[in-house]
Amino acid sequence: MPDSDPLHDHPAVRRRDRGLRRVGVVTAAVLTTAAAGTAVLGAEYRGQPPGVVPPPATAPASAPTPPAGSTLRPPVQAPVPVAPPSQAPSATSGAS
């Protein structure tokens, strides 16, 4: 007579075990990808002398250009912030 445990042969237990294996595989894949990415970045930055900052992926534009046919123009000067009121308004709850 084979040793069979009816508790572990239940479909819900098998589904749970399958799900746990799937989560373990996905977790291992994420960790492996993160470790590989870290190694690649480390190797790239290791080749640079200390204190050297790599150039940005794209050069920053001095001012965004409006789309063709647009009549909008950037402001000449940045807006000036409005000073807060000298006294905060009071609120009443309506209770007497």
Q: How far apart are CA 55 and CA 63, in angstroms?
A: 19
Q: Which of 17-21, 76-80, 82-86 bottoms out in mean pLDDT, i.e. has the lowest? A: 82-86
| Polymer length in residues for the chain | 96
Q: How far apart are CA 90 and CA 85, in angstroms?
A: 12
Q: How far apart are CA 18 and CA 24, in angstroms?
A: 10
- For the chain, what is the mean pLDDT? 78
Q: How far apart are CA 18 and CA 69, in angstroms?
A: 59
Query: What pLDDT was estimated at residue 88?
Result: 62
Query: What pLDDT was estimated at residue 36?
Result: 95
Average pLDDT on 27-38 reads 96
Q: How far apart are CA 50 and CA 56, in angstroms?
A: 17
Q: Over 60: is that where the pLDDT of 2 sits?
A: no
Q: Which of 7-11, 20-24, 70-74 bottoms out in mean pLDDT, i.e. has the lowest? A: 70-74
Average pLDDT on 85-96 reads 66
Average pLDDT on 42-47 reads 82
Pairwise pLDDT comparison (49 vs 81), residue with the higher score: 81
